[in-house]
Amino acid sequence: MDWTSEQVLTALAPRPAQFHAQIESSNDVALAWLKRGAPAGAVVIADEQTHGRGRMGRSWYAPPGTAIMLSYVLRPPANALARISMLGALAVSDLAEQLGVRDVGIKWPNDVQIGGRKLCGVLPESAWDGDQLAGAVLGIGLNVRIDFSETPFAETAISLERAANQAFDRLTLLRDLLARLDHWSARLESPLLLRRWRERLNMLGCEVSVSAPDGIFTGTAEAVDDGGALLLRLPDGSLKRVIAGDIALG
Ligand code: BTN
């Protein structure tokens, strides 16, 4: 069922929230709202985005009524910025498991996967006043009932309803997801968040290739450090620290 603004805002009250049936990108609206004073926990929800953004300059699109696309406002200390995308991936992983889905994992850095297929992507962005962090937004795109079967993503993406083999009420999912985001954002600096994120990473110890801004590297995904960077053991025995990139098995 399509969402109306009234339904969504009533379901989320008293949380500060905006709902848009169609919008360019919820991250843009949330960043603008953050600059005008949106508090931590405020959320912008889009049923459709015309210029949705993904990681590494990619675009992100889901048809109306098929996904949860939101941007969640945080006011973190600057030294916790790297943890924001971790909290998004953790919140979604916890939600999927609570719904009975098995084989949930996080593909470094922060794609949530089910059985190796992408369920959800996260896109954290921050706003600065000079050298002072004004705040951050955590963009989340969660596939709820997108049919990927006739698309180029048939083998690489999955929706929650397909994985759980049952239908869900998107508003209930939205509320549950926000509760989990609140839970983990209150623990942003806790060692527990880092531990849970590490436990969910699904390629540690594997031979991988990583496409990073400075090149493509193959090696063993040995570990992740406290800043979320991947430590890749290269064939010459050296250790490469990768801050951003795309990882693939083999
Ligand atoms: C990825 O590339 O995996 C991250 C995708 C993030 C998409 C979400 S949808 C809501 C929010 N608004 C955007 O423009 N992007 C994020």
Q: Which pLDDT value is given to residue 116?
A: 95
Per cent of the chain over pLDDT 70 is: 100
- CA 138 to centroid of ligand 1, rounded, Å: 9
Nearest-atom number in ligand 1 for the CA of 53 is 14
Task: Work out the pLDDT band at 1, boundaries 50, 70, 90.
Answer: low
Among 23, 27, 112, residue to substitute to test ligand 1 (most atoms within 8 Å of Cβ): 27
pLDDT tens-digit series, residues 171-219: 999 999 999 999 999 999 999 999 999 999 999 999 999 999 999 999 9
Atom number of ligand 1 nearest to Cα 28: 14
Closest C-alpha to ligand 1, atom 2: 54
CA 128 to centroid of ligand 1, rounded, Å = 20
Contact indicator for 123, 133 with CB cutoff of 8 Å: no
Ligand 1 centre distance from Cα of residue 239 (Å) = 31
Compute the distance from residue 171 Cα to the ligand 1 centre, in Å.
19
Which residue's alpha carbon is nearest to atom 9 within ligand 1? Answer: 141
**Residue 240 CA to ligand 1 centre (angstroms):** 28
Residue 77 CA to ligand 1 center (angstroms) comes to 23
Predicted pLDDT of residue 70: 98
Distances (CA, A) of 205 to 202, 233, 236: 9, 10, 17
Q: Please give all residues whose beta carbon lies within 6 A of any atom in ligand 1, as ranges.
A: 25-27, 49, 52-55, 58, 60, 69-71, 111, 121-123, 139-141
Question: What does the pLDDT read at residue 108?
Answer: 97
Cα–Cα nearest to 85, from 76, 129, 208: 76
Q: What is the pTM of this model?
A: 0.96
For residue 27, give the ligand 1 atom closest to its CA: 12
- pLDDT tens profile 67-99: 999 999 999 999 999 999 999 999 999 999 999
State yes or no: pLDDT of 250 exceeds 90.
no
pLDDT of amino acid 2: 80
